């Protein structure tokens, strides 16, 4: 009998085709939709579960919905809100991947007798021809590449994961969905965070943590008060919109000071930095390099990457030194290290000590 595999099916076109590919490869594939956010959210809502169910039916796969709403709230949504309220710019998708798809779903897969899971992420997994270690690589479709969101997976997780879309372009994925007559073939793309419909982060933060927002001052680098704001969760480093200042020059958020509840603004030049501090650094290969290494570092999802030296610092910290200044590095975002298309690892950007 062929190997049993659990496919994480969100109800979107990508995971639908991932499921189809696993079936076509002869796997004994089981579809599971993780019910994460409440019904109002776009992704993994009940409508999406119904779409996934239709696709599973078309493909002749067993299909189940797994309820994780409570854990998703406490392990993803609340930390997301708390991050904004403490002056950081979080990426909940990384925590969602690590905790839910590559931990809880892997657990559930094992309980169902499946040693592996498959997802619709655009990234590739293979083994290093020299060491035999598992590697995470960017997708062939560089526009869709999602390896950034998977940087903190470990060897065990990679060994038990299949990413069947990594070698395909998005248009090929859609073509396959159409050819197979999958119900999700024409579903629109979404780049949003699933529980932030319309991209209104501040409103979602206020819903998750009512009354936590406190108004404060907007100041310049010299501490001069330029205006007021309704809460630091409205801001991220590099932001210009929503400041509502009457200053002559264009001002950007350069820093957020959560203790003082202050938003610091400055000219665009003040956004450029040459170094950044990282915490909770992880390396795909499992071992921290002993010497500083050079790599291409992406400091946000759509960042094209900047050349930097990574200096390991302590148990799981690191210091980044960029060859050229980099614009708008926001605490809370991930810095992911690449050697060509191979993900070496990454860490979380934290505030420089004052």
Partner 1 sequence: MRIYLDHNATTPLRPEVIEAMCAALRDVPGNPSSVHAEGAAARAAVETARERVAAAIGAAPETIVFTSGATESNNAAIHSALAAARPKERRTIVTTATEHPSVSEPLASLETRGWRVVRLGVDRDGLIDPDAFAAALGSDTALAAILWANNETGVVQPVRRLVELAHEHGVPVHVDATQCIGKLPVDAATLGADTLAASSHKQNGPKGVGLLYLRPGATFEPLLRGGGQERRRRGGTESVAGIVGLGVACELVRREGPARAARMAALRDRLWNGIREKIQGARRNGSATAVLANTLSVGLPGAPGDVLLAALDLDGVAVSAGAACHSGSVAPSRTLLAMGLTADEARCSLRMSVGHGVDEAQIDRVLAILPDLVARVRESAA
What part of residues 85-114 is at the interface with partner 1 (CB under 8 A)?
107-108, 110-113
Token code pair at residue 193: 């965070």
Closest by CA to 89, choosing from 349, 303, 332, is 332
Choosing from 44, 96, 296, 350, the catalytic residue is: 96
One character per residue 237-266, x = contact with partner 1 (rule: CB under 8 A): ------------------------------
**Total site size for partner 1, rule CB under 8 A:** 19
Using only C-alpha atoms, what is the Rg of the chain? 21
Runs of H (alpha helix) within 137-276: 155-159, 170-179, 201-208
Let me know: does 150 contact 121? Beta carbons within 8 Å: yes
Nearer to partner 1, 65 or 245 (CB): 65
Could you tell me if 137 and 340 are in contact, meaning their C-beta atoms sit under 8 angstroms apart? no
Q: What minimum distance in Å lies between the beta carbon of 71 and partner 1?
A: 12
Interface with partner 1 by CB under 8 A: which range of 19-27, 43-51, 94-102, 277-285? 43-51
Residue 3 found at the interface with partner 1 (CB under 8 A)? no
Which positions from 46 through 65 interact with partner 1, judged by CB under 8 A? 46, 49-50, 53, 62-65
Between the CA of residue 315 and those of 51, 77, 185, 246, what are the distances in Å?
45, 28, 46, 46
The number of C-alpha atoms within 13 Å of 160 and in the hemisphere containing its C-beta is 22
Other Cβ atoms closer than 10 A to 276: 24
Tell me the CA distances in angstroms from 250 to 76, 224, 229, 239, 257, one per residue in order: 35, 16, 17, 11, 21
Active site residue 43: no
Nearer to partner 1, 101 or 234 (CB): 101
According to CB under 8 A, which residues from 109 to 168 bind partner 1?
110-113
Determine whether 93 is an active site residue.
no
Question: Counting contacts by CB under 8 A, is residue 30 touching partner 1?
Answer: yes
Does the protein bind partner 1 through residue 71 (CB under 8 A)? Answer: no
Q: Which residues are catalytic?
A: 96, 194
Residues near partner 1 (CB under 8 A) are: 4, 30, 35, 46, 49-50, 53, 62-67, 107-108, 110-113
């Amino acid at each position: 009998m062929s190997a049993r595999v659990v496919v994480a099916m969100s109800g979107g076109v990508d995971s639908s085709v991932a499921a189809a590919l696993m079936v076509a490869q002869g796997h004994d594939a089981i579809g599971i939709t993780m019910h994460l956010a409440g019904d109002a959210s776009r992704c993994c809502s009940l409508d999406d579960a119904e779409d996934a169910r239709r696709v599973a039916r078309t493909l002749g796969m067993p299909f189940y919905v797994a309820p994780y709403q409570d854990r998703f709230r406490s392990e993803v949504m609340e930390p997301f809100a708390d991050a904004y309220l403490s002056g950081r710019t979080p990426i909940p998708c990384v925590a969602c991947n690590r905790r839910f798809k590559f931990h809880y779903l892997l657990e559930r897969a094992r309980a169902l007798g499946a040693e592996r899971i498959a997802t619709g992420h655009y990234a590739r997994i293979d083994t290093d021809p020299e060491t035999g270690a598992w590697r995470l690589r960017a997708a062939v479709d560089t526009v869709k590449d999602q390896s950034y969101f998977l940087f903190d997976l470990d060897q065990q997780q990679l060994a038990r994961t299949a990413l069947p879309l990594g070698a395909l372009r998005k248009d090929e994925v859609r073509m396959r969905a159409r050819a197979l007559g999958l119900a999700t073939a024409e579903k629109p793309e979404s780049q949003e965070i699933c529980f932030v419909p319309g991209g209104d982060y501040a409103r979602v933060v206020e819903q998750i943590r009512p009354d936590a927002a406190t108004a404060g001052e907007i100041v310049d680098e010299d501490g001069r008060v330029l205006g007021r704001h309704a809460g630091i969760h409205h801001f991220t480093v590099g932001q210009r919109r929503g400041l509502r200042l009457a200053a002559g020059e264009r001002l950007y958020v350069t820093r957020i000071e959560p203790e003082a509840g202050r938003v610091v603004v400055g000219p665009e030049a003040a956004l450029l930095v040459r170094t950044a501090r990282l915490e909770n650094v992880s390396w795909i290969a499992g071992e921290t390099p002993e010497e500083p290494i050079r790599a291409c570092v992406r400091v946000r999802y759509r960042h094209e990457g900047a050349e930097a030296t990574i200096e390991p610092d302590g148990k799981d910290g690191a210091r980044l030194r960029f060859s050229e200044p980099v614009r708008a590095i926001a605490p809370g975002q991930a810095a992911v290290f690449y050697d060509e298309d191979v993900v070496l690892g990454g860490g979380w950007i934290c505030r420089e000590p004052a």
